[in-house]
Structure 1
């Protein structure tokens, strides 16, 4: 991770990427074929060079299983996660149809096999209405199959969540986000993850309504919590207090039932 952080820093500050002699001695070389460049809000058209060879510029790439997309942002990653979760759900179709398995067993399997695939990386998603609707529609469809509720039978989403002890996906993502923020705030001040939370890149944006971003979601949540960022940094050191804080922001399934 340290090596990757150094690489990103050099790319931001110089048009040429060079492997340091120390990293080469340790076998930490930059692979030209696996290295891609994605420029965001950059007016520069100059290529990024690795040892005098231009690296390929792309519109999106996959990093640690998550999609980083220049134009679609979170939407691209959500679309892929839904596709993978749908494939996982279909692979277990015999489980959902099995009459010998109880509803609770099926729901535990759903929560431990399908949900993790669907919400992988959700801690850093921006939560737009359209994104949440797509995720919730997929989850509700799966739950209806598990409960064997077929068209034209109707059930309200509140009753569906009550019977399956599920919380709205937006609240689940909120819990994941702030659980991750707590972990990040407990890291040393020199940590790249910790610094990324408050990093403020300078520049001018286009004259139009700014798009919703993960950072703006975080700022809105902070206002709802009634705390300043400094207070949250101090509170994160107490894990029990942090869990209480997150629990107040987004209740668990048990407290909603």
Structure 2
């Protein structure tokens, strides 16, 4: 990667090659990525206008879509890219816009001395009706069209629902709990509960702040939560214990309550 030094007067030094970077966990890592991201957008320029418009209101009744018909109290923002460190998601309404934006990013990456990993670049197309898949190319190589795409630990699907993500979370949580059971050192029940609260439960509910779920999703998560707690507390179905009594013994909340708490904290952060 090439770099230059910019002085306070605006003059630039001669470009030089950087062969070393920051290590994972370094306190300068986030700052470096932010500077690189800002410079990337500067290289792309302001010519691209193929953005997705989002309307929002912050005065209550979030799920009443009729309130967006008002001509006032509505705020707008636009989204074109979701860059996070070395991962990037490009959003567009049409295949032509997506191709145009992708070409701009590839060109900007090349200017910064970066390269796009074509093997990891995929296209996710959520159509409103059955249609042909878009053909997106980079350097005359056609990108793969997929039905699901993992991004930052979560699973995005072409149906734009949480069915696939729900199943993915259940599978990941089961794997985390299986590793917990293999730890012979965790013989004390309270220790197992603490590890479960710290490791397994966050795995089960990763990204739940942004989920739009139906009762079937909550039911599946609650059943898996109860099953894990029953195994930790060594409770059999023959004991005829209620879900509430199991939660009280484990000193934990239900999945519905936990998700609501996460969503409230997420809303406060926004």
The residue number in structure 2 matching 1:69 is 157
Structure 1's unaligned 5+ residue stretches are 186-257
Q: With CA pairs under 8 Å and 6+ residues apart, which has the higher RCO, 1 or 2?
A: 1
Aligned-pair distance for 1:74? 1.1
8 Å Cα contact 1:96-1:106 kept in structure 2: no
SS class of match (1:160) = helix
Change in CA separation of 1:161 and 1:71 when aligned onto 2, cut-off 3 Å: same
Give 1:172 deviation, angstroms: 0.9
Structure in which a larger fraction of residues adopt helix? 1
Contact 2:122 2:143 (C-alpha < 8 Å) held by counterparts: yes
SS in 2 for 1:15: helix
Task: Tell me the secondary structure at the aligned position of residue 57 of structure 1.
Answer: strand
Quick check: 2:124–2:146 contact (8 Å CA) kept in 1? yes
Kept in 2: contact 1:96–1:145 (CA 8 A): no
2:179 matched to which residue of 1? 91
- Cα distance, 1:20 vs. partner? 5.2
Unaligned stretches of 5+ residues in structure 2 = 1-32, 41-80, 84-88
Q: Secondary structure at the match of 1:88?
A: helix
Which residue does the alignment assign to 1:141?
227
Equivalence for 2:263: 177
Residue 28 of structure 2 corresponds to: none
How many residues in Structure 1 have an aligned counterpart in Structure 2? 182
Q: Is the 8 A contact 2:123 2:143 kept in 1?
A: yes
The match for 2:236 is 150
1:15 pairs, out of 80, 99, 118, with 99
Tell whether the 8 Å contact from 1:38 to 1:58 is kept in structure 2 after alignment: yes
Is contact 2:126–2:160 with CA below 8 Å preserved after alignment?
Answer: no
- Greater Rg, structure 1 or structure 2? 2
**Aligned match of 2:69:** none
Q: Using the alignment, how far apart are the partners of 1:57 and 1:70 within structure 2?
A: 10
- The residue correspondences of 1:105-254 to structure 2 (distance < 5 A) are 105-183=191-269, 185=270
1:55 aligns with 2:143: yes
TM-score normalized with structure 2 length? 0.59
Q: Kindly tell me: are residues 41 and 21 of structure 1, through their superposed partners in 2, closer, same or farther at Cα, counting changes over 3 Å? A: closer
Q: Distance in 1 between matches of 2:121 and 2:181?
A: 39
TM-score, normalised by the number of residues in structure 1: 0.62
The 1:98–1:47 alpha-carbon spacing in structure 2 relative to 1, beyond 3 Å, is: closer
Which is worse superposed, 115-124 or 13-22?
Answer: 13-22
How far is the alpha carbon of 1:143 from its aligned partner? 0.9
How well do the aligned residues superpose, as a CA RMSD in angstroms?
2.8
CA distance 1:167–1:30, shift in 2 (3 Å): same
SS in 2 for 1:178: helix
Tell me what 1:78 maps to: 166
**Partner Cα separation in structure 2 for residue 10 and residue 24 of structure 1:** 22
SS in 1 for 2:90: helix
